[in-house]
A and B are shown apart, each in its own frame.
Chain A
């Protein structure tokens, strides 16, 4: 009589192939690693950004946010959208891999890529002369959040921001992938990506009047959380930004749970 393997083995097997296929796709690599790294190197070594002080200080939180946006949202939306189109999701649905395990496998592959991105981006920034100091109280506590983040950045807030951002943008990507045709997902996710990058203070320093709008977008909120984590307090409240980011995540999960179609 046939029996399934352990849940852990099933999740790991799925995550491993997801990761392999993501790394095999040139477009995915370009959007997940190429674009953020290119932005960092280009704007970090030239002086075209109209910022006060070191452009890297402004740039690093932004490119980390873009990297998370690329991996969680764009790459996952497109990959999952086409998996649905080609019946891969349907076929997996008849295998011992349960839906929670399927999502766990995706999450794991996103986590691996995001950790690699953050390491590469921060390493490159350091090589370019970026300086960061993680002082202040121990992370993870909400006290640090409500206090607006310790000056000089917080490693705990960085971990929280990366984690929450990855979850939220992956959920947004899956919500898109499960509802629209794969071709629309491809076009739509790239359009939304560009809009989110342009309108969220990540690379372009937007006028202060736009701050309320920036905080309300998931990308802007992530940017603010990361800016607090890597640089220090911002005009906008990090607590509000964190809640906005989490709110987008919950909304995306709720939408995906209602609209996600597993079949072509």
Chain B
């Protein structure tokens, strides 16, 4: 038990006829940072809220620090920090008041003033919560989650609505927590956030974990291939013959070669295109980005994909990792 901070087994949670979480298993080690990734409605928030004690599971078990969040809530709550998507802070209160309130719930809280400085709200102490910027609200909400020196922190989309600078500041705070040995569970839509912060990533879709591993594990392995964009309607059979690997035109002008992208293969591709005077747009070889893995896992099977709001086919900016042409 001392090594496992969170253990979720066979979690099922239904809202009326909708099954939000459907037999989900998850384990988080002490001191580990787990990012839960998934499309909207995949069950990320419901899973987190079962761990926080807000929801009672319909089936399965949830243990946080060896406690049942629902039954042992009074014992668990002093040991966890929670950041909600909604914020959950008095609109007319000032940041120091809110921090002092939550600080006084704990026997040995962090110093509110120091924390206020640390999250960059030192200059905003005379501003009511409702008048803070989106980023400042998020950072105050994070500070409230941290003031009680929690052993486990749940962050539900901690950087939603933040600009790139604000995101980096939040990431810095999360890294400081990691250095202190705090266990962190965060949900996010942002794949680069997961890659930056997480020791392990769990990809959740339709209420279950469809893949889990370190960002490297998820992007490595058998999943190397080569993708490129060029004129639409190229003769993929001919190209497959030239490259010695299957080729598919996934969308007009977007091709995927399912084979180890050796320099020789890249060379062959270049020659094949040159022979046909085809324009090469983007070329990417090597391991897939987490985004590729995510999109692949959460958009199959295609029958269900149509009805969901998954970010299913936005891969124009996919060339973050691997060798770009």
Contact = CB atoms under 8 A, between A and B. Distances in A.
Interface in A16-57: 17, 20-21, 24-25
A86 B54 contact: no
A73 interface: no
B84 A17 contact: no
A91 B89 contact: yes
Contacts of A1: 79, 151
B102 interface: yes
Given A87-B87, A90-B86, A94-B82, A2 B97 contact: no
Contacts of A92: 88
A188 B87 CA distance: 26
Interface in B67-93: 74, 77-80, 82, 84, 86-93
Interface residues of B, number: 32
B149 interface: yes
A94 B105 contact: no
A162 B182 CA distance: 49
Contact of A2 (B54, B91, B101, B151): B151
Interface centre among A3, A94, A264 (most CB of B within 10 A): A94
A98 interface: yes
Contacts of A94: 52-54, 77, 80, 82, 84
B43 interface: no
A96 to B, nearest CB: 4
A9 B108 CA distance: 13
Contact of A97 (B84, B86, B100, B105): B105
A93 interface: yes
Contact of A86 (B78, B79, B88, B105): B88
A94 B102 CA distance: 11
Given A21-B92, A88-B88, A95 B79 contact: no
B37 interface: no
A91 B88 contact: yes
Task: Give the contact-size bracket for chain A.
Answer: 20 to 34
A2 B82 CA distance: 14
Contact of A10 (B53, B93, B104): B104
B107 interface: yes
Contact of B90 (A4, A10, A17): A17
A86 B90 contact: yes
Contacts of A263: 54
B90 to A, nearest CB: 6
B150 interface: yes
Contacts of A10: 104-105
Contacts of A4: 77-78, 105-107
B286 interface: no
Nearest to B93: A21
B135 interface: no
Contact of A96 (B78, B88, B91, B93): B78
A263 B45 CA distance: 14
Interface string B99-132: 0111011111000000000000000000000000
Contacts of B93: 17, 21
A13 B101 contact: yes
B291 to A, nearest CB: 31
Contacts of A134: none
Given A2-B150, A17-B93, A17-B101, A93 B54 contact: yes
Interface string B14-39: 00000000000000000000000000
A1 B144 CA distance: 17
Given A95-B77, A96-B77, A96-B105, A82 B84 contact: no
Nearest to A4: B78
A2 B89 contact: no
B92 A2 contact: no
B57 interface: no
A263 B101 CA distance: 20
Given A17-B90, A90-B84, A2 B149 contact: yes
B148 interface: yes
Nearest to A262: B54
A20 B93 CA distance: 9
Contacts of B107: 2-5
A9 B104 contact: yes
A23 to B, nearest CB: 11
Interface centre among B79, B106, B150 (most CB of A within 10 A): B106
Nearest to B91: A86
Contacts of B79: 1-2
Contacts of B89: 86-88, 91
Shortest 8 CB-CB contacts between residues of A and residues of B: A91-B88, A87-B86, A87-B88, A13-B104, A4-B78, A94-B82, A3-B107, A96-B105
14 contacts: A1-B151, A2-B106, A4-B105, A5-B106, A10-B104, A20-B97, A87-B87, A90-B86, A91-B82, A91-B86, A94-B52, A95-B102, A96-B106, A97-B105
Given A5-B106, A9-B105, 14 more contacts: A2-B107, A2-B149, A4-B77, A10-B104, A17-B93, A21-B93, A24-B92, A82-B91, A86-B91, A90-B84, A91-B82, A94-B77, A94-B80, A95-B77
